[in-house]
Amino acid sequence: YESHQYDVAADWYNKTLALDPKHGLSLSGLANCEKDKGNLQEAVDYYKRAVIIGPSDPTFSFNLAQAYEYTQRYSEALNLLQSFTTALTPGDMTTVNHFAVPILYLKLCYVGGPQYHERIPALLRQIEAFPDVATKAVQSLATHWAYYFFLKRLTANEISPIMAMSGGGGLPKPLYFVGDSHVLSASWSLVKVRGETRYVHPLLVTGLKAWHLRSGHRFLTVSNTEQCMKTLPQDVKEIVFVCGEIDCREGLPGAVVKKKYACMGDAVEATAAVYISAMETLALTYGVSIKILTITPPCNPKYTDRIEATRLFNEKLRQFYAPLNQLLDISRDVSSPEGTVKTEYNCDGTHMNRSILPLLQREIDTVFK
């Protein structure tokens, strides 16, 4: 499994299950294989079986909740985590995975919608009260800890601008932002589209790279993206897509170092072409007009390769989408002369904060005519 030989791994898991049909780790292992191949419903089914066998095992409940997230079933994920955490006593918190559950719970409460946001302050207090040894352990789960840190900073002044509106059924229509974790920077905030009040509804694809969306590639994030698109109500005809930051942070500099491309320009050219082609395919498949948000610049000036990748990628997006009036272009506004995010927009060292809302509104006024 660790070497991505999922079919071989599945054979071994199935051999174990033939000997012991209630071997929860093998069921969870099969689920992991299906998940990473992009077969999300199959993964859910295996994780469910593992949870039935080991209801007190935090790994099984954690993984099933994540699989529900990938399939946009947030209410099921949150009900599962609520039941799991309610049954725990302080003495049960014995492994890093026990402490990982509240961190995932926090993320899903925020992304799941304002009806769950009242749970967030208690979860933040719980995580902040972790013993030092537990905190150090969960920090090794880099992606999950990063979400905790981001959401702690993002919600420091206000959990969400529309939280108070959710109880009375008075929410305006959503404007969907689909993509990587940068969809959360403006999420659950109010904007106006053609004079009508709307709110930014995130459809999150954790870890999405533009390169993942190349034709014929099957992967978890591709299936997650498809699930997000299928979630769109039938009357939705326009969305905003957010992607490319992880390519600029990880994929493109690494590809150049490994000499897969002669220079950063060539790497960006190839990846931007994949992104643009994927957006055309998604627009045709789901019958929507897709607007593109420019990529968030890095926050640290020492990462000159990331700065170069982001600048070149945004230039490619500008060249293609600006003439079509499909680009929400805030990159110049948020960038310092060095190419990093200006301090006033920096949320956590990777993402931007809600100070970008006036810039987004200006671009929405221009693009959504």
| CB count in 10 Å sphere of residue 130 | 16
Residues ≥6 apart with Cβ < 8 Å to 361? 191, 192
Position 166 scores a pLDDT of: 65
Interatomic CA distance for residues 310 and 76, integer angstroms: 37
Position 168 scores a pLDDT of: 55
pLDDT tens, position by position, 223-248? 999 999 999 999 999 999 999 999 99
Contact 63, 28 (CB under 8 A): yes
Q: Is the pLDDT of residue 169 over 70?
A: no
Interatomic CA distance for residues 324 and 125, integer angstroms: 46
Beta bridge partners of 175: 200
pLDDT tens, position by position, 60-112? 999 999 999 999 999 999 999 999 999 888 788 889 999 999 999 999 999 99
pLDDT tens, position by position, 236-290? 999 999 999 999 999 999 999 999 999 999 999 999 999 999 999 999 999 999 9
Position 358 scores a pLDDT of: 98
Q: Is the pLDDT of residue 165 over 80?
A: no
Position 88 scores a pLDDT of: 84
Position 30 scores a pLDDT of: 95
Position 91 scores a pLDDT of: 84
